[in-house]
Chains A and B, each alone.
Chain A
Amino acid sequence: MTAPESGYNFAYLDESTKRMIRRAILKGVAIPGHQVPFGSREMPLPYGWGTGGIQVTASILGPADVLKVIDQGADDTTNAVSIRAFFRRVAGVATTERTAEATVIQTRHRIPERPLTENQILVYQVPMPEPLFRLEARVAETRRMHALADYGLMHVRLYEDVARHGRIATSYNYPVMVNGRYLMSPSPIPAFDNPKMHRMPALQLFGAGREKRIYAVPPWTEVRSLDFDDHPFRPIRAPQSCALCGSQESYLDEVLTDDRGGRIFVCSDTDWCAERQAAREAAE
């Protein structure tokens, strides 16, 4: 742990802001999947760039934590680098790129491939917490729908997909039901990652800074992707294997290598990929 930036409180936020956010987190945990409004602060990073996740992380983080930050599954993407550097600067916490070593993982758009444990907390950056917003833009109205668990609109929309395309056409930010009660946005993770949320041993916290909402999924909680008996949920991944580690199970990024249709596929989770490459080298 290095000395945090002087002139600012530990982890940037003042203590009364942290208390407010901590209270919201606890209510979120107690009501799995329910969006708790909170007095989101203006952060020194832009709204939409992870301010919700940053506020949640800043409110839970302590000197004993080891922080990992990923964007698109990778530790080295520029926004992940920037957020990790922010926490090193204002909290002086240890950071890591290894999923296994982290106690707190802040993520945008992915869940790590390595199964998380009871000793970890996964913090999602959420751009739009309301799963119903494309169907009903008025917040007052969606709040009423959640109160009544009135989710018929979402089923109708998914069914229209099936009628038009022969399948559910949503491939990311795929809505889930939490503990059989609340419809929840998993944040824009690929639908491929949805099954990892179900009965995950780690606590999952979600922060939406601009929309000023926090929500949570406690460990071991049921998280079901919406589907129909005749059109079951299908996680999607490119059918190739990783060009670097050979993985056939991980989620892949497509990389264009020329302008004549040349392309390769590599793991989106860089730590997972590096670990597999190292293991293969060690075996050789």
Chain B
Amino acid sequence: MDTRFPGFADPVLDAQATFRAVLEAMSRPGRVQRIAPPPEAPPGLSPAAAAVLLTLVDAATPLRLTAGPEAEAWVRFHCGCPLLRDGAAFVLDPAARLLDLDPGTDEEPERGATLILEVASLQESPGWRLTGPGIRDAHDLRVEGAPAGFVAEWSASRARFPRGVDVILCAGARIAALPRSVAIEDG
């Protein structure tokens, strides 16, 4: 389970900086944040996704990962998290469907999974129109490379609120987030 790819250059401060980017993204859905400095990621992971994993995932959080053997070895070494398919707290698998992931319960909605979704690009320009908590009026977010049918599935997932799945979108060193509370219109 050894890996030749490093983790954060400064594990404490880089994790803090990445967390603040994720927090900002989650607090202001559709606003694009940059991970700085991005870690050197193993094949199969964007620098943003790698940084998010290093920041949030550890032995206490099972991860569902399909990003190839090098990414798996890297994650095992640097995060020490159990890798499994069902009931994972964090999911990084392009085949994962929102409605199949653990949405938590009405009493414990915080148990709902976090989906880390690799996309081709993220831009604060017309594409999706986001409304909801964290957004003053509406935010435009242009996402290239989201799974087909994502917006329709999102609406179905959101109808379960407070149960649901939260999404962190990653493209290169950029991230944006979709907390379960946000509404997406394909515009």
Contact status B58-A146, CB under 8 Å:
no
Q: In whole angstroms, what is the CA distance A149 to B23 when docked?
A: 26
Does A157 sit at the interface, judged by CB under 8 A? no
Task: Give the complex CA separation of A63 and B27 in angstroms.
Answer: 21
Any A CB within 8 A of the CB of B96: no
Interface readout for B52-94 with A: 1 if CB under 8 Å, 0 if not? 0001111111000000000000000000000000000000000
Q: Is B170 an interface residue (CB 8 A)?
A: no
For the complex, is A169 an interface residue (Cβ under 8 Å from B)? Answer: no
Residues of A within 8 A of B136 (CB): 199, 201, 219-220
Contact between chains at A23 and B56 (CB < 8 Å): yes
Report how far A146 CA is from B59 CA in the complex, Å.
30
Q: Which residue of B lies closest to A214 (CB)?
A: B110
Interface of A is mostly: mixed
The interface residues of chain A lying within 8 Å CB-to-CB of B181 are: 30-32, 179, 218
Contact A26 B134 (CB under 8 A): no
Chain B residue at minimal CB-CB distance from A23: B56
In this assembly, does A131 line the interface, its C-beta being within 8 Å of a C-beta of chain B?
Answer: no
The interface residues of chain B lying within 8 Å CB-to-CB of A61 are 16
**A143, CB-defined interface residue at 8 Å:** yes
Name the CB-closest residue of B to A218.
B134
From known contacts A34-B162, A147-B107, infer whether A29 and B15 are also in contact, taking CB-CB under 8 Å.
no
Whether B23 pairs with A30 at a CB distance below 8 angstroms is no
A29 near B161: Cβ-Cβ < 8 Å: no
Beta-carbon contact of B20 and A19 below 8 Å: no
Minimum distance in angstroms from A77 CB to a CB of chain B: 28
* Cross-chain contact B19 with A15 (CB below 8 angstroms): no
Contacts of A30 in B (CB 8 A): 26, 112, 164, 166, 179-181
CB-based contact B166/A143 at 8 Å: no
Q: Give 1 or 0 for each of A216-252: 1 = CB within 8 Å of chain B CB.
A: 0111111000000000000000000000000000000
Which chain B residue lies CB-closest to A199? B136
A25 touches B23 (CB 8 A): yes
- How many of chain A's residues touch chain B, expressed as a range? 35 or more
Q: Residues of B contacting A144 with CB < 8 Å?
A: 107
- Is there an interface contact between A26 and B15, defined as CB atoms closer than 8 Å? no
- How far is A37 from B110 in the complex, measured between Cα atoms in Å? 9
- Specify which of B20, B56, B161, B179 is in contact with A60 (CB 8 Å cutoff): B20
* Smallest beta-carbon distance A178→chain B, Å: 8
Contacts of A60 in B (CB 8 A): 16, 19-20, 23
The residue that A26 contacts in the complex, of B13, B23, B109, B135, with Cβ under 8 A, is B23
Give B145-176 interface residues, CB cut-off 8 Å to A. 161-162, 164, 166
Check B22 for interface membership: any CB of A closer than 8 A: yes
Q: How far is the CA of A59 from the CA of B56 in the complex (A)?
A: 12
B114 at interface by CB-CB < 8 Å: yes
Q: Are A62 and B16 in contact (CB under 8 A)?
A: yes
Interface status of A24 (Cβ within 8 A of chain B): yes
List, in ascending order, chain B residues with CB within 8 A of A18's CB: 15-16, 19
**Chain A neighbourhood of B27, CB < 8 A:** 29, 203, 218-219
Measured CB to CB, the nearest residue on chain A to B11 is A15
Take A23-B61, A24-B110 as given contacts and tell me if A220 and B23 are in contact as well, using a CB distance cutoff of 8 Å. no
A26 to B, closest residue via Cβ: B26
CB neighbours (8 Å) of B107 from chain A are: 143-144, 146-147
Query: What is the chain A residue whose CB lies nearest that of B180?
Result: A30
Closest 9 CB pairs of A and B: A30-B179, A218-B134, A147-B106, A27-B110, A221-B133, A218-B133, A147-B107, A62-B16, A36-B110
Q: Which residues of B does A touch, CB under 8 Å?
A: 11-13, 15-17, 19-20, 22-23, 26-28, 55-61, 105-107, 109-110, 112, 114, 133-136, 161-162, 164, 166, 179-181
Q: A60-B19, A218-B179, A219-B136 are in contact. List 18 more A-B contacts (CB 8 A).
A: A16-B60, A19-B57, A19-B58, A25-B23, A27-B166, A28-B110, A30-B112, A30-B164, A32-B133, A34-B109, A36-B110, A63-B13, A147-B106, A182-B162, A217-B133, A218-B181, A219-B27, A219-B134
